[in-house]
Amino acid sequence: MENLLRELSSARVYDLEQPRYFGAPIFPSHAPGFVYTLHRRHEPDTGSTRTSASGVIYTAEHSGTHIDALSHQAENMTLYGGREINAQLQTGAGFSELGAETIPPLVGRGVLLDVARLKGVERVADDQPITRDDLEAAARQQGVEVREGDIVLVRIGNGTLWEDAEAYLAATGMTADASLWLAERRVRAVGADNVAWDVPGVVDPGLNITLPGHLILLVRNGIYIMENLYLEELAREQRYEFLFVCLPLKMRGATGSPVRPISIVSP
């Protein structure tokens, strides 16, 4: 225990969450995203030297930096593991199986694939989807291997645009074959610095659906997806392997959860 505490005390911790506020980039179907209002305020003349303030949070599960639960997507009305959607599984209070409370703490080897650096740009162009070849080339350039059980983060270079919602939402994403490449390696989870992992609004010609990675990863392979990550500091310091830690909230029956993931690197 002492050795672990000593090592952690000198480790570098990278915060991978974007700030939460009303007006932050949000996928249209999850609007309004995040709303916070003060419920109680500090007021004068209360008769006490001590005053109190507190607020109320209203948020979509899939706003800001978040993780998708396996109940989030279905194929032919079937969830991951062949669970047929019916009134017992999908209820007014959420899902009786595969809700956000079933997502385990994600603690393990993390890998950053910096596709923006691979292409020699600050940000991958909006009209350039990220392919299997891009992920393979980034791993090769960085000298890292994607292994079973890894958490793989893909950098587009979009994180610096968080305060410009229109520009942020226009960013590219992964093609179906990029998601297949990761599924073949049996990773535990994936994430990116864009709003939807996939390229929003583009119909995949093979599967004939939008957001093909969501079907491939969540429904067919049980691989969690994180979106709206902040990866700029990791990329700037070329930290391509690290201890990744992410703790989803135990929101029973929910289809996703806000998260504050971190990466830890030994000095």
- Report pLDDT digits (tens) over 200-241: 999 999 999 999 999 999 999 999 999 999 999 999 999 999
Please work out, in degrees rounded to the nearest 5, the angle formed at the alpha carbon of residue 221 by the alpha carbons of 192 and 135.
40
Q: Over the stretch 71-130, which tens digit does the pLDDT of each residue have?
A: 999 999 999 999 999 999 999 999 999 999 999 999 999 999 999 999 999 999 999 999
List, in sequence order, every residue forming a beta bridge with 55; answer none if it has no partner: 38
Residue 32, both tokens:
């309004």
Residue 249, both tokens:
């909230």
Please work out, in degrees rounded to the nearest 5, the angle formed at the alpha carbon of residue 106 by the alpha carbons of 104 and 112.
150
CA distances from residue 163 to 8, 24, 196 in whole angstroms, order as listed: 32, 7, 17
The answer to whether residues 173 and 200 touch, using CB atoms and an 8 Å cutoff, is yes
- Beta strand pairing status for 78-79 and 66-68? unpaired
